[in-house]
Amino acid sequence: MVQLFSLIAAIAASVLPNTVAAVGLDEAALAKGLLYFGSATDNPELTDVPYLTQLSNIADFGQITPGNSQKWDTTEPTQGTFSFTKGDVIADLADANGQYLRCHTLLWHQQLPSWLTSGTWTNATLIAVLQNHITNVVTHYKGSCIHWDVVNEALNEDGTYRTNIFYETIGESYIPIAFAAAAAADPDVKLYYNDYNLEYGGNKAAGARAIVQLVMNAGIQIDGVGFQGHFEAGTVPGKSSLVSVLQSFTALGVEVAYTEVDVRIQLPTSATTLAQQSTDFQNLVQSCVETIGCVGFTIWDWTDKYSWVPSVFSGYGAALPWDENFVKKPAYDGLLKGMGVTSTTTATTSTSATTTSTTTTSTATAAHWSQCSGNGWTGSTVCASPWSCTYQNDWYSQCL
């Protein structure tokens, strides 16, 4: 599988648009002290060779999250029978690329198999099912994941517990039980609670902090809280407000990360809405950079071609930093700006005779880990001391 991904990437390099910046998103994140900048992905788009090549571009993406292939309906479609094929494809890809793997998600009220949702359970039997599922899945991926989203979206907007099969049958204790099972299966992986709209603070954020305290008070491991970051352009809180909310969680002794970020736009887009989207992405990533204990930033796939938004939010789309043709949008520069990098990008649209290209100019020397040479490269070829421009392949050399 690893050899297959390497072969696909090599073949694609001659046709892929030049989407590598003088300083990529992950490189900028590392320079600011974050652990990664990453992207979600899903199995169907991995057959798209140019898409796969950019996903494997470690200058931009130091981490990958499986969007669906580790959820319960995929990993345990029949009770007691586990399938890891789809998740393994993405785990193998991350491993081949030297990227972190954020694992997602063990317990969610959606995408559950019918045998579970239609079953008749007691407190004891459902706890056994929950523990067995988590133990098997986490054990299979032991050593591969940097984080596990253990419990996902357990709260209503007012901060009360969402009604689901686990809460109805077990009560709020299903949450620490889940974390305990995950910790026992892999003591080294970091365990997260993950939810959306926490960024606004208020009752839902308070409910998530209560979950952190619930797990901690039970003497069980919880390491982080994931802020999903699904927004409509113009609705993202200001940077200082975002920092304040993030810090309200790190004050409890957990780390935080943005885990599923996209900023949807009501279609059609305009220069104004694209500029607003860029500002929103900038504020989001900058709030992470400015929060001690915010460890990473993940977009929910990297190109509008494979965004979930149009299928869920009628009339909306264009939610990601690259458009459907893999051309960078102003949002890409907004992200770089939020991480302290000034970049000027110009894009040309592909025709039958030429491929799409994106050129980024930079007057600075290339930082450690940055690209410094390669076919079509127009950025800096001089590495900051003491690093040297080291050949990786015909399309990529790196400051090492």
Beta strand 357-361 with 316-317 is: unpaired
Q: Which residues sit opposite 231 in a β-bridge?
A: 263
168 is catalytic: no
Which of 149, 8, 125, 131 minimizes the C-alpha distance to 70? Answer: 149
Helices (H), the chain: 2-12, 25-31, 49-55, 72-75, 85-97, 114-117, 123-140, 165-170, 174-185, 202-217, 239-250, 271-289, 309-312, 330-338
Which of 93, 188, 190 minimizes the C-alpha distance to 143? Answer: 188
Hunting for tokens 């009628």 — which residue is that?
314
CB-CB contact of 302 with 39 (8 Å): yes
Name the residue type at position 130. Answer: L
> What is the rounded (10 degree) CA torsion for 25, 30, 32, 33?
150
**Sign of the alpha-carbon dihedral angle for 5, 332, 33, 394:** positive
The secondary structure of residue 199, as a DSSP letter, is G
Q: Which residues sit opposite 393 in a β-bridge?
A: 396
CB-CB contact of 195 with 211 (8 Å): no
Q: How many other β-carbons are positioned within 10 Å of the β-carbon of residue 69?
A: 20
In angstroms, the CA 174 to CA 108 distance is: 12
In angstroms, the CA 192 to CA 255 distance is: 9
Tell me which H or E stretch contains 246: helix 239-250
CB-CB contact of 202 with 244 (8 Å): no
Report in angstroms the alpha-carbon separations of 104 from 69, 260, 283, 388.
8, 11, 25, 37
324 is catalytic: no
Q: Of 27, 153, 199, 255, which residue is the catalytic one?
A: 153
The burial of 2, by beta-carbon neighbours within 10 Å (0-12 exposed, 13-18 middle, 19 or more buried), is given as exposed
Q: Of 76, 199, 255, 260, which residue is the catalytic one?
A: 260
The HSE-up count of residue 159 (CA atoms within 13 Å, CB side) is 13
Phi, psi values for residue 3, rounded to 5°:
-65, -35
Catalytic center residues: 153, 260
